[in-house]
Every structure is written in structure tokens, then in C-alpha cells.
Structure 1
Amino acid sequence: MIQKLNTLFNGLHTFIILWATQGFSALGSSMTSYALVIWAYQQEGSALASSLLTACSYAPYVLLSIFAGALSDRWNKKRTMLVCDSFAALCTLSVLVLLVTGQLKLWHLYVINALNGLGNTLQQPASDVAVSLLTPREQYQKAAGMRAFSNSLVTILSPVFATALLSAFGIYTVIAFDLLTFTAAFLSLAFFVKLPEQDLSKRNTEQASVLQTAGQGLCYLRENRGILDLILFLACINLVASVYNAALPAMLLSRDGGSQAALALVSTCTGLANVTGSVIATFLPAPKSRVRAICLSLLFSMSTENFLLALGRGTPVWCLGAILGWLFIPVMNTNMDALFRTYIPVEMQGRVYSARNTLQFFTIPVGYLLGGVLVDQVFEPFMADQDKGSIPSLLFGTGKGSGAAFLFFVIAFAGILVCLYFQRDGHIWKLEGKRND
């Protein structure tokens, strides 16, 4: 049995240490974020107010990622990760101090989230390249599946643990747990993980300025249209998904049958679906067509969950929607990750991943802002003016939260159209059979 496990995870021993400890730290951070979203919504009762928390986190990430990759290719990856993790811990500690002193305001969280996002901007490309350095090429899909599994486990556990700690001990305990997980991850990375540094990572960067190096990532994407169009595909999906994320707490915390427990249960089902999908993606052999796996996974997700959230009337239906909507997302992520790592040279990955982050994720803060505005200013007022016997009321219910349900119905069609459009993109399909040797 032990020999089989050694064969299955051959060459991944150091990666597993990094993966496990960073995943533990991610659990603490996710629990804090979950608790603060609930705190923000309870303070203001506004979808826009709570969605701005995530928008502020992503804004610096999107604006500065392209330069972060250039710096990541120059800097020591391990040192960069340690410094950025420490900066994130300081941001969390500042929230705790403001809470203890009774000074915490919503605008404090916006500023702190923006600073946290800045640290993540520098940390993410270093972390992505570290995974490539620690992982044999033949294990790329398994490593991607394991990362998807840990992310899924975080999705399951963070709402459950955060809700339990909030109810029993308050938000202070949630933040203290976050700081504990950071300490464990920091010490493990500092003393037990050795990242192999490659001279290749310094090619074409020693003499070039940061701006020129950043431009190399964009030039690479311009010359490789399949990768670029795949990134734009995900950017459009992220826009739809961010509108969904902005509207979900507003609907589940306010409509009939919804509650904080309902939000936690739906989030837990999302995580369970992700875990199941991650196990499938980790242990199944590589598909004959990674592009087809990506396209079909996203189409299935977009055509199921949003309709069930829009038309459902209780937690069981919403949970079913979460399971169907997220079951194959790890399959998509795993194939996307393996495709990128195989196709993009490792010495270019920091720059290209950062250019990807700017292009693929700029729609996330836009989507959160758009979702908050649409819920508060468009769909909720529209549903409030409807008679009980009207078609919208019969479909989406009445009272607060029905507007968010109507919005889910609209973005379901938007997601399907995006999938069908990019599924016809010839540049993406040309990636089949190509690889970086």
C-alpha cells in the first residue's frame, strides 16, 4: 500500500508539504473573509456594501499583476511568498485590533482588503511558479487536482467552522484561528520547503526594465492566440460568476427560507461538489481533449445552478443547484492549469501568469460592483413593484431577495451564451496536441 502511494505521488513530496500547509492557511483566511462578509451585510443590509469587500481585494490584484510577474521572475520565490504571507497576517491583525478597540468601520475593511490584495498580487505568481518548480511534468495534472481539492475543502469547511466559531465565541476567535494557521504555514515554508532556483528564470530579465519584462508577458499572449482566447473566455465567465457571488448572500440572507445557516449550507454543498470533482480530476487519466473538457464543464455549470437558485424556494433546491453548478469546475481548473503549465515555458510563467491574472481577473471586481448595483438598484426595486399574481412574482417569489433570484435567472442565460460563443473559437482548439518541450 505504501509502495503504491509512493509511486502515485512520485516526485511530489516537497510539493505536498507546501500544498498542505498553504491550504491550512487558506482555510483560516477564508473563514475570516466569510465572517467579515456577514458582518458587513449585517451592518448595512446592502449587497453592494458587502460585495465591495471583494472588489477592493481584487482591484490592486488586477491593476498591478502584470508588473508583479516581472518582479516575481527576478525575485527569490520563497522569500517573496514569506514576505507576502507576513504582510497578509499584519492586515488580519489590524482588523482584530480595530475590533477589540471598538473602532472597526466598513471603510477600514475596504482599505485593509485593498492592501491585502496588493500583497496577494506579488505572492500569487511566485506561488504559481513554485508549483512548477516542485512538480515533475508528468505530475502536473495530479498537482493541479490536489490544489483544486484543497481549495474545495476550504470551501466546505470555512462556512461551517466560521459559523460555529461566530455563534459560540464571536468573530475574534475566527481571526485568532486565521493567525494560527498563518504561523503554521510560515514556519513550514521557512524551514521545510526548499525551492529549486533556476538560472532560466533570469533570462531576458537581467538587462530589461520591469516595464519591458512585463511587456514580454503580453507579447507572449499576443503571439499565442489560443492561450489568450482561453484567458478571455475565463474572464467572461468570471464576470458572470462575480455577479453571482455578489447576489448570493443578499438572496440567502434575506428571502423567505433563507438565513445565515442556509448560506453556510449552500456554501458547504459547493465545497462538497468541488471536493468530489477534485478527486475525479486528480485520479482520472488525462482526457483526450483538454479544451473539450474545459468547455463542457463550464457549459454544464452555467446551465444548471443559476436556474435552480432563481426558481428554487428552499434550501434543498439551492443546495442541489450548488452541487450541480460546482461539480465539474475542478475538472475545468485542472485541465486549464495542466494546459498552461505544459504549453508555457517555465522561465516565462511568472510574466505570462501575471498578464493572465490582469486579463482574466479584471472582470471580478467589475462583476462584484455590477452585481451589487443590479441587486440594490435594479432587480430588488423592480420586484418590489410587482403584484403577487404577476409572472415575475410567480417565478421568483416576493419580498426581499426575489430581485436577486431574478438576477440569477438572467445571468444563467448570459453564462450559456458565453460558453457557446467561445466553444466555436478556432484558436482555442488549435492548442490540442501542442506542448512546451
Structure 2
Amino acid sequence: MKFDKIKSFGKGLKDFLILWSTQSLSQLGSAMTSFALTLWLYETTGSALKTAALTICSYAPYVIMSIFAGALTDKFDKKKTMLVCDLLAALCTVTVLVLYLTDNLAVWHLYAINAFSGLMNTVQQPASEVATTLLIPKEQYQRASGLHSMSRSMISVLNPLFATALYGLAGLKLVIAVDLATFAIAFLALLFLIRIPEVPVTQKERMSVLVKEGVAYLKRTPMILTMILFMSGVNLVASAFDAALPGYVIPNPRGGTSMLGIVTAFSGIAMILGSLLVSVLPRPKNRMRVVYVTMLISLSVENFLLAFCRIPWIWCLSQVVGWILVPVMSANYDVIFRSTVPVELQGRVYACRNSLQFFTIPIGMLLGGWMVDSVFEPFMARYETVETLTFLFGSGKGSGAAVVMFVLGVAGTIHCLVWGHRMKQFHYSDR
């Protein structure tokens, strides 16, 4: 009987499992190339700012153009959209390889290529989300979200390890070669092995009309809009944390760059565990409550542990507490979104979500770095003789980052409590 259930589950999700596994493999290859390019750029320029600009160039199109990309997704065939975007992104990678092999690769090339590749991802991502909805039955949404969270977690853990090893072995060309091989596997699998069901498309409607429909849907669906705005604030706090973490760990006498790698790896390990947890958890009575309660625990406990503790194993523990519940939140968020938004609108609504929910990430990264370098490190240096401050946050370089962790813990707690109160009016259950 158990074997029949497993066989039935695999049969019902065959196309999704092929898409998920091959696309995850390709994403791992892309992440490895991105990491290797970061190493190459830093070795070439020696500038952290120029290296960070590489990420901004790839992220800016995602934030700015997402709202229009969703309209394109709903206007055209999902499978063809994914194939074209993947192919153009791969051509960007080939261009980098050719420039590198001919000793013509320059920094501005990477900025331009990353911006174009980011634009392709902006269009491809909503199409992939809609394709996932079309390929899985509603009762399997939570399990599918758990698989997505697990693959993202594995990529975050494995890509720096593999990229560093391959880069050290044969340089950038070997990393790119592996990336292109993973792309070929994913492209051919999507082209020949996966059939994505068709949904009605409105090819005669203007882009402006399609964009307005996505915005209008959010206006008349306050539950979805509230959830998106809540996560926008969460991303602001979380990205500020990401910017402050190196300034907290590296200067610490017990820290350093190796310890930062270990601490960061624990976030990926925690997400893998959280993804496994999602697959065995029963359906909650109220998924909206799960979304804000998990984030309340993550943003408060993690930041406060880091703010007041200067012991490495507690740093790792804080990462586990902060990240293990993220896949749980993500799975419930995903089920609410997929079950509520009509599939023919999902592309443009997903795109509106991306613009509203993720625009705070670059703001948070800039804010976190600014608070460490320009506000709280100078503050702690000025008042290093105040015993209460040194008792709570330590002394010397890194103590200002500890204060930032405390501020972010307070901000995250207040945000979750205030928005959690607003989200209590919405009750979503798929039982």
C-alpha cells in the first residue's frame, strides 16, 4: 500500500520533478559562475564596492522591470518564454567565456552582461512560477514548495564550495564550462521531456492593460497585498542583517573570514532542515498566522542572540534559529498565493509581488552597511568607556555591528507584531 502511494505521488508530479531537478541543477551552475566572477572581479580590482556593484547590476532589472515581465509571462506561452530566456542567459555566459579566453574581459563587460542576464531572469522567473502551478495538483503545493526551498538551500551551501574548488583547479573557464553543461541538461529536459498545460492568453491586450490588471488584483485582494507588504518589511530587516554580519564576525577575535563562512553555512544547513520539516508537517489551521509567527521568531531571536553573545557556537545556533523556519514560512506563503491568485493572472501578480516585496533588499543592504560604518561603530568608539555599553555589546571594532543587530532585532519584532495584528483579520485554511 505504501509503495502504491509513493508510486502514485511520483506519477502525479513527474513533469514537475523533472523541471524542478533540472532547473535546480542549472541554478547551481549559474550560482557557481556568479561566485567565480565575484572572485575574479575582486582579484582584478581589489575593490569591494566594484564587486558589490556586480550584484546590483543583476538585481536592478529584477526590481525595476518585474511588473512588466509578469505581463509578458501571461501574454505568451510559458514553456517558450522559459526556453528563450534560458537560451539568451546562456549566450551571456558564453560571451563571458569568449572574452575571458581571449584576454578581453573587462569589468564593464560583466556589469552589462549581468544586467542583461538579470533582465532575462526577471521574465523567466514568473513564467517558471506559473509553470509550477500548472504542473502540480493543489494538494501538493506545500510539498512542492518544500522541494523548492530545499534546492535553494542546497545551492546556497554547495555553490561556494564547488565554485571555489573548480576556480582553484582551472580558473574561471572550468566553472563556466560546468555551468553551460548544467544549462544544456535543463534546456533539453524542458524542450523534450516536459509538457506544460496551456492557459488562455490574451495576445491582443496591450501591455499597459495587463500591468494594470495585476495591480488592480492586488488592490481588490487585501489578504495577498498585506502579505506582500509584510514580507517587504521582513526583507528590509533581513538584508540589513546580511550587510552587517561580516562587520560583526570578521573583526571579532574569535571570528575572521573562515568563521564567517562557517556561520553563513549554518544558515543553508538550517534551511535544508527546514525544508525537510515542511515535507512532514501537517496542514496548519491558519496559514497566515504561520507566516508572521515564524518571521517574528526568526527576526527577533537571531538578532538578539548575535547582539549580546560573542561565542562562535552561539552565532551558529542563531543562524539555525533564524533560518530553519524560513522554508516553513515560504511554503505557507506559497500555498496561499498559488491557491488564491487565478492561474491566468499569476504571471503579472507574481511580477507585481516581486517589485513590491524585493525592492527593499538593496535598500536594506545599503542601510545595514551605513549603520555599521557611519553610525554605530563611531558611536561605540566614542563611548567605549561606558561600562553598560561594553558589557552588552563588547568593545573595539565589531561592537557597533552588535548594536546594529540589537536595533534590527527591535525593528523586526515591532514590524512582525504590528503587521501580525493586521494579518489576524485574514484566515486562510485549505482544509
Output the TM-score relative to the length of structure 1.
0.89
Q: CA deviation at 1:31?
A: 2.6
Q: Percent sequence identity over matched residues?
A: 49
Shift of 1:168: 4.6
- Give the Cα–Cα distance (whole angstroms) in 2 for the partners of residues 429 and 92 of structure 1: 47
Secondary structure of the residue aligned to 2:12 is coil
Q: Hey, what's the Cα distance between the residues in 1 that align with 2:290 and 2:185?
A: 36
Aligned partners of 1:89 and 1:382: how far apart in 2?
A: 47
Q: Assess, with a 3 A threshold, how the Cα gap between structure 1 residues 220 and 120 changes in structure 2: closer, same or farther.
A: same
Aligned to 1:11: 12
Q: CA deviation at 1:161?
A: 2.4
Q: Give the match's secondary structure for 1:190.
A: helix
Give 1:268's aligned amino acid. Answer: A
Structure 1 414/130 Cα, relative in aligned 2: closer, same or farther at 3 Å?
Answer: same
Partners of 2:248 and 2:88 in 1: how far apart? 34
Alignment match of 1:286 (pick from 280, 283, 288): 283
Runs (5+) with no aligned partner, structure 1: none
| Equivalent residue letter for 1:240 | V
SS in 2 for 1:304: helix
Q: Distance in 2 between matches of 1:256 and 1:323?
A: 22
Distance 2:22 2:98 in 1: 26
**Aligned AA for 1:136?**
P
Matches within 5 A, 1:27-66: 27-37=28-38, 43-44=45-46, 46=48, 49-66=50-67
Aligned match of 1:187? 188
Partner of 1:326 in structure 2?
323
Please, which of 364, 376, 382 is the counterpart of residue 373 of structure 2? 376
The answer to which of 29-38 and 187-196 deviates more is 29-38
Q: Deviations over 1:338-371 (max 9, x none)?
A: 0111111111111111111111111112222323
Contact 1:213 1:351 in 2 (8 A): yes
Contact 1:55 1:364 in 2 (8 A): no
2:287 and 2:427 in contact (8 A); partners too: no
State how far apart, in whole Å, the 1-side matches of 2:318 and 2:168 are. 27
Q: Deviations over 1:152-177 (max 9, x none)?
A: 11122223323433455444433333
Provide the aligned C-alpha RMSD in A: 2.6
Distance 1:288 1:320, change over 3 A: same
CA contact 1:159–1:267 (8 Å) conserved in 2: no
Distance 1:114 1:382 in 2: 37
Q: Are the equivalent residues in 1 in contact too, given 2:243–2:365 (CA < 8 A)?
A: yes
Structure 2 vs 1, CA of residues 431 and 211 (structure 1 numbering), >3 Å: closer, same or farther?
Answer: farther
Q: 1:356 aligns with which of 353, 357, 379?
A: 353
Distance 1:307 1:343, change over 3 A: same
3-state SS of paired residue (1:360): helix
Matches within 5 A, 1:64-213: 64-100=65-101, 107-199=108-200, 202=201, 205-213=202-210
Shift of the 63–399 alpha-carbon distance from structure 1 to 2, 3 Å rule, reads same
Between 1:4-13 and 1:225-234, the stretch displaced more is 4-13
Going from structure 1 to structure 2, the CA distance change for 1:401 and 1:27 (only over 3 Å counts) comes to: farther
Q: How does 1:178-327 map to 2 (within 5 A)?
A: 178-199=179-200, 202=201, 205-327=202-324
- Residue of structure 1 equivalent to 2:414: 417
Contact 2:214-2:352 within 8 A present in 1 as well: yes
Aligned length: 429
For 2:426, the equivalent position in structure 1 comes to 430
- Give the whole-Å Cα distance in 2 for the aligned partners of 1:176 and 1:403: 43
Shift in CA distance, 318/374, structure 1 to aligned 2, threshold 3 Å:
same
Q: Report what 2:400 is aligned to.
A: 403
Amino acid across the alignment from 1:79: K
Q: Does 2:26 correspond to 1:25?
A: yes
The SS at the match of 1:56 is: helix
- 1:388·1:398 contact (CA, 8 Å) conserved in 2? no
Q: Which runs of 5+ in 2 are unaligned?
A: none
Task: Give the Cα separation in 1 of the matches to 2:389 and 2:50.
Answer: 26
Do the aligned partners of 2:228 and 2:357 also contact (CA within 8 Å) in 1?
Answer: yes
Query: Displacement, 1:246?
Result: 2.4
SS at match of 1:423: helix
Q: Tell me, what secondary structure is at the counterpart of 2:291?
A: helix
Distance 2:397 2:42 in 1: 14
Q: 1:103 to 1:249 in 2, by over 3 A?
A: farther
2:285 touches 2:429 (CA, 8 Å); kept in 1?
A: no
Partner secondary structure for residue 313 of structure 1: coil
Q: 1:266 to 1:160 in 2, by over 3 A?
A: farther
Q: How far is 1:387 from its partner?
A: 3.3
Counterpart contact for 1:291–1:429, Cα < 8 Å = no
* Residue identity opposite 2:179 in structure 1: D
How many Å apart are 1:302 and its aligned residue?
Answer: 0.5
Letter in 1 for 2:428: E
CA contact (8 A) 2:238 2:299 kept: no
CA shift in 2, pair 1:161/1:357, >3 Å: same
Structure 2 Cα separation of the partners of residues 422 and 294 of structure 1:
11
Distance across 1 between alignment mates of 2:165 and 2:347:
39
- The CA distance in 1 between the partners of 2:50 and 2:252, in whole Å, is 18
Q: Is the contact between residue 141 and residue 335 of structure 2 (CA under 8 Å) also seen in structure 1? A: yes
Q: CA deviation at 1:412?
A: 1.5
Q: What is the alpha-carbon distance in structure 1 between the residues aligned to residue 173 and residue 380 of structure 2?
A: 38
Distance 2:267 2:77 in 1: 36
Name the aligned partner's letter for residue 159 of structure 1.
Answer: P
- Residue by residue over 1:371-403, the C-alpha shift from the partner in whole angstroms, topping out at 9 and shown as x without a partner, is 333333333444454537655444444554443
> Are the aligned partners of 1:235 and 1:361 in contact in 2 as well (CA < 8 Å)?
yes
Distance in structure 1 (CA, Å) of the matches to 2:71 and 2:140: 26
Could you say if the C-alpha distance between residues 73 and 308 of structure 1 is closer, same or farther in structure 2, counting changes exceeding 3 Å? same
